[in-house]
Structure 1
């Protein structure tokens, strides 16, 4: 059983592949064609990333809110901050814009100056009615000015909804139909109907229009993700092909590698479609990731083929040895990389699970494609010429490996001192890392829609809804004056928080009824007294019933009420402080034995999700380390070697975490991925080095120093090649307009660079310093699998003088 992956096994695999080339090519074409048919099932995510498990209490509270009041993230706001709006021509155009918006099928309701209604009192019979605010169809300058004065001075009900606190910005609120908010129809409306309409309005009136709201933000953000997939794939192909050509100086080798990874990309899209997963900001990274991870496979296989050709010139023998000798090691490195991604499958977050499933499947798939395609294509081609093999003797590569050997041989104490300093400094940096639950932080900050978000934050204190659900535990309890007064007290507290907007609730409507009862006098915009409530009650029949304004803020039973406020793009820490301050006040205002008050909303869910994810970061990373440690235990049969091999791979992670703290890069969903991804990839170098080291020990009769230096010289070139490809490959993500993707690319690149140096310098130093206790024959027992073919031992012996 321990020899299941022996040299003989891989020799058999090599024979099967090379003797059935046409069949394997046909199978690959068939699978590629099938997966291509699955592309039609790919769909882009139309909702925000929900990082919490479906059964989490926060999600249950949110779903309970939706059951009672429907979709809360269906508001798009359109605003103008320009005094010239209140001129007859532009005022007419603004009102025409309202009518155009009302005619769209996707729109449920529009609240704007053009269709604004005000509450008026009528007698005989006693009633309130909502009557049009604007009666005329054509206006003079004086009329427009009068409308403006009435709006800003006599209708406080619409403050924060139609005009801003400073009365300088006029806003139109567009409510989308619930059924299209989380569907592709929302994208069609925003991109094909709303945007062209706004652009035409700006051109006609010479007014700057600001547009925002969660449906609008989500649509443009999704469009940016879609646009960047092609950009990443193109950039990854360009960068990796240039580096590949620089190393090999062979057009055909470069083309073969590019064909291989492009088939891998096609499979990646097909697998996403086959599994019916959505393309999110995370799964969008998988196709370029496959290119970046697939190219090192091509480097190992093509490099080995060319080395074999240089030694004996026999093509058939070389191709067989490529599979039999490199196949095992390449498989193991891909398995460890896949394990790093597979750790996400064990989290409770659907978003991360899907990312982990697709990434790990595709990493194994690109390994199989590389192992089959490269030998088969080369088998149909002529033997590489001498000019294609020149790169094997590059002096600068020799100089690099000589430098690493010199450092290990002569400066081990310095290496340990630097490592300890880096560790201590990193720990200090780690304590300064902050957590960011910002829904907007990773969005493209140069985009127009992001500037519009900042505008609405300044004018209306944000566009992200925060909902407070109040359960009065009795029917009609939400309409009782005592409850309304409690709600008003809570609204006053919310209004004092700079990061939150003026709240909207049934309290505002109750105040408006008193103002209307006193013939629209704005000084009576306040809650009625008990006596006044009795006088007002007969007039309320006109605004009650299905479809009335009341139903937006109180459920059909009158038991539940909502308070809606909008929040700025604040981080997790600020939001937690606000929540901590509000909680005791809410409990004081609404006694828990009589009321149940909960906070919810998509922005809050995202922040809670980030906190949840950070708490699970240690768990998921520990799982990745455990999986890889178990794999190495199975390979090397040595607990001590596991510990030694983990040190040079954990140190780069700590250095990166410390760097995040010093650079002010917060922990967030995108940067959390860095550690598991980087660890899964960087441990590949350790496996290659230790496998070669063990082989050299046997060939050199267990002479430690000679074996370490021989392994360093042998593996240094391939580790350098692959690390450079990975470094520049992941750096491609830094061209993204999304802050999280930029941070992910930069941090993974830096971590892998540290990991290469750590595996080439720190790991050999540890082996030499601890040779008596760990690096000996007793410690390195017979491995469960042969990572490098034993025939190489003979070859190494022949090479030695």
Structure 2
């Protein structure tokens, strides 16, 4: 690798690039066309993010549940909370809406007022039959009023399914076919069929319909992600181009940079398609991320080119030196950035692995594109005019560098005190950070579907299903009266939790059968006695004989497994853990482990457990990133002391950000957990640039610490400021998102990188000056494996040569 990054090697690279310009452009064009052809393989994720490893016990339990009952997130609910619904015209229209939905091939069955059945007793001969709840196709106002009274007063089985007593809300449950729930068919049905149908109903009947359910929420949420990809890319291009132009005052330089990163974005989409990865809430941020990370590459290359032109005006020589002297520096900084993302590859979570693979590949790809495209395009253009070089002498930049030098020269103690105070405050803030495993927390609060979620949480106590799988360990064990009584006890236990809705299971069905047997008297809505079970339980099975599959929804085909469904409010991980901790001892008491096996599962629980998994792996992945970068620094500088000094200014900003999260109430969750590895991988770039330049200055200044530190500060301060500002505003683009997690990610990374810039320009030089005896000797700073020089000055080289000759 040493040879790979040697000066001679980069000279060879430079000559190869400049002598084969046409061939390289053709190859870039061919690669871009090929990757663009892979866009057809891109697909958007139609499932919730599963952060757990595939072989995790929680995932295996969930898969077992799916094997028994199929996809659990197939319920869409629509509700009306309006007294005028119970007028003949609107009542009929509501029922017709449910019946029309039932006719769609994507719908398995519906449970609405129009679908309700009653068990009625008949004489001559004596028998029981299931009859429709709505007997007349066109009921008048009196009949509608009677239906309303009977529904709310006499049919407790349908409470939570068809109505809520809290404010007389009526709802219809639409069960999609399970095999289409995680496919594009679901999206097409929701977007193209269901939503227009409901909007038409609202307009014709002057009623507000609330819609929710996981398939509906997931569809609109993923649609928001799709819409925001274009928004992020456009905003990132706009912001970075404006900042770039502000710094360089050159349309030509700005357009070249934008052209380069746009090709990088095309490649990013192509890599996603080539690897057949889904576009998730994480991979969706990669294309704009490439823009934000690619622009600093362009800044270093173009800035160096313009500096060389200003020195000697020789274009060929300038382009040669751009590649030779900036290529290795830019490669190392891109490698450290890619390392921050690559640590996610080593996790066992498929979602994070895919994110890490695509991000790290494309960071290296944008480096290659920058190194090839910018010198080649400039080689075909005229030499920049004097007006294009004015930005190199901006007074305000000089003022900023002067301020930094004054702080390091005269206020080192203040810098250390402020750093220590920030560290202490951050540690206090870290202890207040909470963990959130909510599926809904990151969803756009201003979206119409989120307001509907809040309505259903209020009326029906939640929309996120929590499933309990009960294994009786014998066929037909579910319908045993002893098992049903245990299940009823568990349902009462769950109903006592405020965060959970009243559970639904076969118990409700059996209790309804007994009520129906006793002429629909609601006081008999209870489990049958041992004497009644033989002639009442068969009616429970008959309730599903009309194709509505109500019984099959809660009992598997063997009768050995029962399913109990409750719905959760939008609670966090800590609250869910409290509920689990309180429930499990009682569940095990109700269902002895030697006779029953009970498992708690469901998508909401999977997501919360996944968040806990991420938190545990955060320390591992971040430690790995620090270790990899420390190894890189050790290889570059051959000094463990330099490793320590280089890590301190980069770890402090991470701790400050973590403390800010605690103080601002931003929880640790899948989106914000990425902040630390991303920010560390990027911020360490500044350290590499500064220390490399510092070491070069030491050799040029006969190991005089102060002169070398101030020279390195002045030399690298401008480019570090430029790139940090671009990164700050570039990541701030994510704050325009409607997703809370993406907003937090953008804000936190921006803040971290700003802290990191100040830390590298103030704390790092202050440490070098304060520890000069320990690090300023040739034994500590041996000849490095490579010279990483971002802004190498030719004058410095000549000065070294003159000093060598004079000796």
Task: Place the TM-score, normalised by the shorter chain, in its bin.
Answer: over 0.9
Which residue of structure 1 aligns with residue 177 of structure 2? 177
**How far apart in 1 are the matches of 2:93 and 2:540?**
35
Is 1:426–1:657's contact at 8 Å kept on the other side of the alignment?
yes
Name 2:267's counterpart in structure 1: 267
Q: Residues 7 and 790 of structure 1 are in contact (CA less than 8 Å); yes or no, is this contact kept in structure 2?
A: no
Aligned to 1:561: 562
2-structure distance, mates of 1:630, 1:643: 11
Q: Distance in 1 between matches of 2:118 and 2:675?
A: 55
Aligned to 1:488: 488
Secondary structure of the structure 1 residue equivalent to 2:774: coil
Return the TM-score normalized by structure 1. Answer: 0.98
Question: 2: CA distance between counterparts of 1:409 and 1:584?
Answer: 64
Matched, 1:651 2:646: no
Instruction: Determine the structure 1 residue equivalent to 2:770.
Output: 769
Hey, what does 2:617 align to over in structure 1?
616
Shift of 1:411: 0.6
Q: Say whether the 8 Å CA contact 2:430–2:658 is kept in structure 1.
A: yes
Q: Which residue of 2 aligns with 1:420?
A: 420
Any conservation in 2 of the 1:128–1:543 contact (CA below 8 Å)? no
CA–CA separation in structure 2 for the residues paired with 1:327 and 1:154: 79
Q: C-alpha displacement at 1:130, in angstroms?
A: 2.8
What 5-or-longer segments of structure 2 have no aligned partner? none
TM-superposition CA deviations, 1:670-693 (whole Å, max 9, x none)? 000000000000000000000000
SS in 2 for 1:556: coil
The answer (yes or no) to whether the contact 1:126–1:539 under 8 Å persists in 2 is no
Secondary structure of the residue that 1:742 maps to in structure 2?
helix
Residues 129-140 of structure 1 correspond to what in structure 2 (within 5 A)? 129-140=129-140
Match for residue 252 of structure 2?
Answer: 252
Equivalent pair of 2:465/2:566 in contact (CA under 8 Å): yes
- CA contact under 8 A between 1:75 and 1:174: conserved in structure 2? yes
Q: 1:146 to 1:629 in 2, by over 3 A?
A: same
Post-superposition offset of 1:539: 4.9
How far apart, in 2, do the equivalents of 1:66 and 1:128 lie? 35
- In 2, the alpha carbon distance for the partners of 1:68 and 1:324 equals 63
The 2-side partners of 1:315 and 1:580 are apart by: 71
Q: Which moved further from structure 2: 412-421 or 771-780? A: 771-780
Per the TM alignment, residue 151 of structure 1 is displaced from its structure 2 partner at its CA by 0.9
Deviations 1:307-343 (A, max 9, x none): 0000000000000000000000000000000000000
Give the drift of 1:622: 0.5
Aligned residues: 801
Q: CA deviation at 1:664?
A: 0.4
1:683-698 alignment, distance < 5 Å: 683-698=684-699
Shift of 1:789: 8.8
Structure 1 residues 587 and 123, CA gap change in structure 2 (3 angstroms): farther
C-alpha distance in structure 1 between counterparts of 2:239 and 2:563, whole Å: 53
User: In the alignment, does 2:630 pair up with 1:629?
Assistant: yes
Mapped to 2, the partners of 1:681 and 1:66 lie a distance apart of 42
- Deviation, structure 1 residue 291: 0.3
Change (3 A) 1:25 1:540: closer
Once the two structures are TM-superposed, the CA of residue 382 in structure 1 deviates from its matched residue by 0.3
Task: Give the superposition deviation at 1:95.
Answer: 1.2
Structure-2 change in CA distance of 1:789 and 1:73 (3 Å): closer
Report what 1:526 is aligned to. 526
Q: Displacement of 1:119 after TM fit? A: 2.5
Deviation at 1:540, TM superposition (A): 5.5
Report the CA distance between 1:249 and its aligned residue: 0.3
In 2 relative to 1, CA 686–150 (structure 1 residues): closer, same or farther, beyond 3 Å?
same
Q: 1:539 to 1:674 in 2, by over 3 A?
A: closer
Q: Deviations over 1:525-550 (max 9, x none)?
A: 00111011134256566447795422
Deviation at 1:4, TM superposition (A): 3.3
Structure 1 residue 263, shift from structure 2 partner: 0.3
Shift of 1:657: 0.2
**1:790 Cα deviation after fit:** 12
8 Å contact 1:408–1:765 — kept in the other structure?
A: yes
Task: Indicate the residue corresponding to 1:81 in structure 2.
Answer: 81
Query: Residues 12 and 523 of structure 1: is their aligned pair in 2 closer, same or farther, counting only changes over 3 Å?
Result: same
Residue of structure 2 in register with 1:467 after alignment: 467
Tell me which moved more, 143-152 or 113-122. Answer: 113-122
Correspondence 1:51-450 to 2 at 5 A:
51-122=51-122, 128-166=128-166, 168-450=168-450
**What secondary structure is seen at the aligned counterpart in 2 of 1:530?**
coil
Residues 32-82 of structure 1 deviation map (CA, whole Å, 9 limit, x = unaligned): 000000000000000000000000000000000011111110000000000
- The Cα RMSD (Å) is 1.6
C-alpha contact 2:329 2:790 (8 A) present in aligned 1? no
SS at match of 1:425: helix
Q: SS state of the match for residue 671, structure 2?
A: helix
1:662–1:7 Cα change, 3 Å: same
CA contact (8 A) 2:689 2:790 kept: no
- Give secondary structure in 2 for the equivalent of 1:138: coil
Instruction: Give the deviation of 1:108 after TM superposition.
Output: 0.7
Gaps of 5+ in 1: none
Give the equivalent residue in structure 2 for 1:28: 28
Q: Report the alpha carbon displacement of residue 713 of structure 1 after superposing the two structures with TM.
A: 0.5
1:723 aligns with 2:760: no
Residue aligning to 1:786: 787
Q: Give the 3 Å change call, closer, same or farther, for CA 573–34 of structure 1 in structure 2.
A: same
The whole-number CA distance in structure 2 between the counterparts of 1:541 and 1:660 is: 54
In the alignment, the residues of structure 1 paired with residue 544 and residue 681 of structure 2 have an alpha-carbon distance, to the nearest angstrom, of 61
Q: Deviations over 1:688-732 (max 9, x none)?
A: 000000111111111111111110000000000000000000000
Q: Residue by residue, what CA displacement relative to the aligned partner does 1:92-113 show, whole Å, maximum 9, x if unpaired?
A: 1111111221121111111111
- Tell me if the contact between 1:128 and 1:542 (Cα under 8 Å) persists in the aligned partners: no
Tell me how far 1:115 sits from its aligned partner. Answer: 2.1
Contact 2:468-2:601 at 8 Å conserved across structures = yes
Q: CA deviation at 1:788?
A: 2.8
Equivalent pair of 1:98/1:112 in contact (CA under 8 Å): yes
| Shift in Å, 1:796 | 5.1
Residue 183 and residue 721 in structure 1: after superposition, are their counterparts in 2 closer, same or farther (change >3 A)?
A: same
- Distance of aligned partners of 1:593 and 1:702 in 2 relative to their CA distance in 1, 3 Å threshold: same
